[in-house]
């Protein structure tokens, strides 16, 4: 089998070489599509392949990848980003796969290993992703009567691990694409909406959140009508964050008391905790952060039931240890309570530093 590497890049000169060095002796063809680099990306790419193409960026990653794929001539296309590398062990595995790959296989999935568990938009350290695609797909008829075309691809889940080394957050770029799609189509698919909510909650600026407010209010009504409870709950969590940051407590109260929030997610608890923290009611805030850390499950940001909640708890206890109310106590009573609160804060800080998701789950969604 012949493999074509297809990439879309922009200003990746600092990391592109490592990616290409890890793949060049496995790929029969390297195709790089540049979407407007102003550094040395194109020059570097041209030192590895003659197939470097300029592509005018239109806020559409799918269109750019389709253009790159259209230039491929191999049996299979390997899709990579510049911040990925294969180490020696996994290069050996990919070479072995190339030798024995059956033509019936149409998609090969690989394990994507993100080095930063608290990456701005990723929840999982390890997740299975489609990376190798048969360029030309053959369709066959199935069923002895009322025959139809078999449209289900043959997928092989390999044990090849791709090391992902993210270079900061690309959220500002992503939000411009999300907002363009919303403006043009007035909706997002459930898949894209889930990703939009995750990026908003984990990496959205106040402006990004404010821009999303009207669309999310409309989307919540639509998802309720379709009885999509999970997306409704996720929208509520992000709306709670928006209302909190925009100082709209009525809006926050309204969605937090909705039927979907009867059993709150960790994100909902976090937003209530932040609300009371802003009001300097640290005792109430600590109760909500405690629920997020120990009694609720995350639905958008896995750190909301881990590092984020624990650090917020520690901060509350630090604030309580310095409160005027505490200082007004008799000296001995003050010293005992101050020591207890400080010890709790230190304990939660230690838990936050050492926290990690149980067994770093392999996401196969």
Same domain, 14 and 142: yes
Mean pLDDT of the chain: 91
User: What does the chain come to in residues?
Assistant: 365
pTM metric for this prediction: 0.77
Same domain, 11 and 50: yes
Domain end position, chosen among 164, 199, 217: 164
Q: Do the beta carbons of residue 211 and residue 196 sit within 8 Å?
A: no
Give the pLDDT confidence of 43-71 residue by residue, as tens digits. 999 999 999 999 999 889 999 999 999 99
Q: How confident is the model at residue 356 (pLDDT cuts 50, 70, 90)?
A: confident
| Residue 362 is assigned to a structural domain of this protein | no
Same domain, 257 and 353: yes
d(CA 257, CA 52): 55
Same domain, 177 and 39: no
Domain end position, chosen among 119, 136, 164: 164
d(CA 334, CA 87): 57
Task: Report whether pLDDT(23) > 60.
Answer: yes
Give the pLDDT confidence of 297-347 residue by residue, as tens digits. 999 998 999 999 999 999 999 999 999 989 899 999 999 999 999 999 999
Give the pLDDT confidence of 226-247 residue by residue, as tens digits. 999 999 999 999 999 999 999 9
| Residue 60 is assigned to a structural domain of this protein | yes
Give the pLDDT confidence of 111-160 residue by residue, as tens digits. 998 865 545 566 667 889 999 999 998 888 778 877 788 888 999 999 99
pLDDT for 233 equals 96
pLDDT for 360 equals 45
pLDDT for 123 equals 65
Task: Report whether pLDDT(273) > 50.
Answer: yes
pLDDT for 171 equals 60
| Residue 247 is assigned to a structural domain of this protein | yes
Q: Return the H-helix or E-strand segment holding 45.
A: helix 41-46
Same domain, 207 and 339: yes
Domain end position, chosen among 164, 195, 223: 164
Same domain, 82 and 193: no
| Residue 104 is assigned to a structural domain of this protein | yes
Give the pLDDT confidence of 197-234 residue by residue, as tens digits. 999 999 899 999 999 999 999 999 999 999 999 999 99
CATH number of the CATH domain containing 157:
3.90.550.10
Range of the domain at 338: 173-357
120 or 274, higher pLDDT: 274
Same domain, 144 and 8: yes
| Residue 31 is assigned to a structural domain of this protein | yes
pLDDT for 115 equals 65
Total domain count, the chain = 2
Same domain, 9 and 129: yes
- For residue 314 the two structure tokens come to 């520690």
Q: What is the mean pLDDT of residues 26-31?
A: 98
CATH number of the CATH domain containing 255:
1.25.40
| Residue 365 is assigned to a structural domain of this protein | no
Same domain, 98 and 159: yes
| Residue 189 is assigned to a structural domain of this protein | yes
Give the pLDDT confidence of 73-82 residue by residue, as tens digits. 999 999 999 9
Nearest to 158 by CA among 229, 92, 231, 251: 92
d(CA 15, CA 17): 6
Same domain, 94 and 217: no
- For residue 313 the two structure tokens come to 């708890």
Q: What is the 3-state secondary structure (H, E, C) of the chain?
A: CCEEEEEEECCCCCCHHHHHHHHCCCCCEEEEEECCCCCCHHHHHHCCCCCEEECCCCCCHHHHHHHHHHCCCCCEEEECCCCEECCHHHHHHHHHHHHHCCCCCCEEEEEEEECCCCCCCCCCCEEEEEEEEECCCCCCEECCCCCEECCCCCEEEEEEEEEECCCCCCHHHHHHHHHHHHHHHCCCCHHHHHHHHHHHHHHCCHHHHHHHHHHHHHHHHHHHHCCCHHHHHHHHHHHHHHHHHCCCHHHHHHHHCCHHHCCCCHHHHHHHHHHHHHCCCHHHHHHHHHHHHHCCCCCCCHHHHCHHHHHHHHHHHHHHHCCHHHHCCCHHHHHHHHHHHHHHHHHHHHHHHHCCCCCCCEECC
Same domain, 152 and 194: no
| Residue 363 is assigned to a structural domain of this protein | no
Same domain, 181 and 282: yes
């Amino acid at each position: 089998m012949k493999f074509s590497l297809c990439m879309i890049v922009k200003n990746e000169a600092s990391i592109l070489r490592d990616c290409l060095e890890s793949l060049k002796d496995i790929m029969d063809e390297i195709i790089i599509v540049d979407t407007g680099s102003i550094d040395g990306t194109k020059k570097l790419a041209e030192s590895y392949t003659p197939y470097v193409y300029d592509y005018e960026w239109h806020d559409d990653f799918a269109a750019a990848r389709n253009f790159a794929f259209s230039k491929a001539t191999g049996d299979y296309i390997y899709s990579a980003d510049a911040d990925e590398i294969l180490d020696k062990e996994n290069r050996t595995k990919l070479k072995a796969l190339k030798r024995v790959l059956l033509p019936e296989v149409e998609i090969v999935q690989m394990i994507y290993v993100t080095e930063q568990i608290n990456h701005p938009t990723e929840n999982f350290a390890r997740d299975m992703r489609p990376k190798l695609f048969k360029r030309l797909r053959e369709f066959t008829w199935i069923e002895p009567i009322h025959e139809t075309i078999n449209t289900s691809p043959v997928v092989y889940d390999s044990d090849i691990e791709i090391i992902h080394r993210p270079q900061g957050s690309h959220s500002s770029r992503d939000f411009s694409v999300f907002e363009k799609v919303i403006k043009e189509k007035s909706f997002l698919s459930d898949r894209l909406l889930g990703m939009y909510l995750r990026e908003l909650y984990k990496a959205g600026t106040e402006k990004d959140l404010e821009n999303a407010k009207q669309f999310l209010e409309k989307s919540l009504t639509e998802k309720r009508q379709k009885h999509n409870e999970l997306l409704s709950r996720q929208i509520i969590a992000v709306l709670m964050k928006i209302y909190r940051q925009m100082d709209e407590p009525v809006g926050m109260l309204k969605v937090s008391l909705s039927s979907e929030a009867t059993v709150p997610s960790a994100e909902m608890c976090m937003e209530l905790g932040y609300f009371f923290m802003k009001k300097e009611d640290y005792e109430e805030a600590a109760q909500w952060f405690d629920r997020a850390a120990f009694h609720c499950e995350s639905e958008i940001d896995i750190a909301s039931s881990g590092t984020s909640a624990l650090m917020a708890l520690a901060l509350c206890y630090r604030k309580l240890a310095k409160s005027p109310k505490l200082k007004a106590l008799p000296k001995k009573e003050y010293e005992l309570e101050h020591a207890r609160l400080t010890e709790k804060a230190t304990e939660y800080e230690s838990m936050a530093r050492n926290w990690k998701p149980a067994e770093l789950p392999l996401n196969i969604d």
